[in-house]
Amino acid sequence: MGEASQVEREDTVTPTSEHDTREAAALMARFAERTGLAAAHAERRYLWTDAFAVCNFLGLGRASGDRRYTELALRLVERVHHVLGRHRADDARTGWLSGAGEAEGEAHPTRGGLRIGKPLPERGPSEPFDERREWERDGQYFHYLTKWMHALDQVTRATRDPRFNLWARELAASAYEAFTYAVPGSARRRMYWKISIDRSRPLVGSMGHHDPLEGYVTYVQLQTTASWLAAPAEGPNLGDHAAAFVAMLEGAELATGDPLGIGGLLGDACRVAQLARAGAFPGDGLLEALVAAALQGLRAWTRQDELRAPAAHRLAFRELGLAIGLHAVALMVRQGAAAALGPRGQAALAELQRYAPLAAELVGFWRDPASQRSPTWTEHRDINEAMLATALAPEGFLLLVAPR
């Protein structure tokens, strides 16, 4: 391995208290039992939540040295592919989403993409669009797929097994083909926000605010990991796809007032900072743009009254996404990201540091039993508890440890 990967191995993880780590482990134990991963309960898989859960198990295993956490992560990957990589039980279609036979599907489980895991079947071709009902319908989301690509890549980085990075790159190539399209009469491409399970049609034709950004950062991450492996598995090269996402980002306004979106910008900035040390994103200004956009959104969000609202009027997973992003700021500072920024970016990163107490405030609010009795917590318990565990012990999700 080269010098950059050696630098990555010398990094220490973000400090986490023993109490927080124990609480994160307890949350993930309950998650594994409740969703049928580690108990004989009915299985319940949801792609976004399971992506965070895989990373959490990897981080807990690295912190404790307990192989059982890595085994849970590997078991969860297998279960996600066998449930969300195949058609629903209530669908007339059967088998792998890619249409592959059983043996080929087992070897390449992500080539057909992965279902979201929503409770209702997807909207049929002749059914009218109902915006509220669409939130509960199945299909494929690009921003969920990129979270799963990241989780698979983290498994390769933790185990040095190239299969998981291969599956992530195959998923990336499949998603690019299905979600992006050429704008008629233009050389530009755009993206659908949601597509059908079989990838044949859009379900929501608008483009997600940060989908091209997520694509760019994630595809560069996957290619970087593949380049570090001594014997990378064969598979697609994502360089052209990453370049297409860059073109989609030209002139884009990245700032958002949504706490989950702000946290996502900070998480992406943290990945960019780490990958830049390996030679990716050389001098393209992306890191500076991300910290500036996140700061703009954070200033706006904290001027609102949401932090004073009762739990019943708040969504835990959105606020915990921001807490995770603020942990990403701490990791960037620890790893010397300021050295890669110009004066404007350095000032933005320094101001973001001053929001660090907000992460503890958000985590403290949502770990309070009184807040957890709110319907907004209980109705989304799986995603809330998985993301609370990430906010308590964020290393598995945030830290890009080089394959050893």
pLDDT at 270: 98
> In the numeric block, which tokens belong to residue 281?
């994103």
Query: Has residue 353 been placed in a domain?
Result: yes
> By the 8 A CB rule, do 277 and 221 touch?
no
User: Per the domain annotation, does 326 fall within a domain?
Assistant: yes
Domain-ending residue, one of 202, 227, 252: 252
Instruction: Give pTM, 2 decimals.
Output: 0.95
Task: Supply φ then ψ for residue 137, to 5 degrees.
Answer: -95, 150
Q: Looking at per-residue confidence, does 265 or 228 come out higher? A: 265
**Where is the domain boundary, 198, 223, 252?**
252
Whether residues 114 and 262 fall in one domain: no
228 vs 404, residue with greater confidence: 228
- The reply to whether 23 falls in a domain is no
Q: What is the span of the domain harbouring residue 143?
A: 45-127+134-252
Percent of the chain at pLDDT exceeding 90: 88
pLDDT at 217 > cutoff 70: yes
pLDDT given at position 84: 98
DSSP 8-state secondary structure symbol assigned to residue 311: G
Query: Which residue pairs, CB below 8 angstroms and at least 24 apart, start in 61-64?
Result: 61/158, 62/13, 62/158, 62/395, 62/396, 62/401, 63/13, 63/16, 63/21, 63/393, 63/395, 64/21, 64/25
Our CA angle for 298, 361, 56, nearest 5°, is 90
* Residue range 164-180: mean pLDDT, rounded: 98
Q: What integer is the mean pLDDT of 232-238?
A: 86
Give me the residues paired with residue 202 across strands. 195
Tell me: do 241 and 380 sit in the same domain: no
Kindly state whether residue 17 falls inside one of the protein's structural domains. Answer: no
How many contiguous H segments (helices) and E segments (strands) does the chain have?
18, 5
User: By three-state DSSP, how is residue 241 classified?
Assistant: helix
Question: Are 15 and 395 contacting, i.e. CB atoms less than 8 angstroms apart?
Answer: no
Q: Answer whether residue 333 is part of any domain.
A: yes
Strands (DSSP E) contained in 79-167 are 140-141
* 187: confidence class by pLDDT, cuts 50, 70, 90: confident
Contact of 295 with 348, CB cutoff 8 Å: yes
Residue at 223: amino acid letter: Q
- Give the model's pLDDT for residue 175: 98
In this structure, the answer to whether residues 218 and 106 fall within a common structural domain is yes
Tokens of 177: 């083909």
- How many domains is the chain built from? 2
Can you give the pLDDT at residue 404? Answer: 64
103 touches 119 (CB < 8 A): no
Q: What DSSP string describes 8-64?
A: HHHPPPPP--HHHHHHHHHHHHHHHHHTTSSSSSPP---HHHHHHHHHHHHHHHHHH
Amino acid in position 391: A
* 107 and 170 belong to one structural domain: yes
pLDDT in tens, 350-372: 999 999 999 999 999 999 999 99
Domain assignment present for 31? no
Backbone angles phi, psi at 181, to 5 degrees: -150, 155
Q: Residue 189 is inside which H or E element, if any?
A: strand 189-191
Last residue of a domain, one of 252, 277, 301: 252
| Together in a domain, 170 and 313 | no
User: Lowest-pLDDT range, 82-96, 121-135, 171-185, 277-291?
Assistant: 277-291
pLDDT value for 231: 75
What is the arithmetic mean of pLDDT over 57-63?
97
In a domain, 24, yes or no: no
Report the pLDDT value the prediction gives residue 1, as an integer from 0 to 100: 26
Tell whether the model's pLDDT for residue 14 goes beyond 90.
Answer: no
d(CA 339, CA 337): 5
Q: What percent of the chain has pLDDT over 70?
A: 96
Considering the domain architecture, whether residues 58 and 198 belong to the same structural domain is answered as yes
Whether pLDDT at 8 is above 50:
no
CB 112 within 8 A of CB 85: yes
Mean pLDDT along residues 224-252: 91
Taking the C-alpha atoms of residue 297 and residue 254, their distance in angstroms, rounded to an integer, is 9
User: Would you state the pLDDT for residue 261?
Assistant: 98
The partner residues of 43 in beta bridges, in order of sequence, read none
CB contact at 8 A, 115 and 89: no
How far lies 328's CA from each of 28, 270, 333, 397, in Å? 21, 6, 9, 10
Q: What letter does residue 355 receive in the DSSP assignment?
A: T
The whole-number pLDDT of residue 21 equals 96
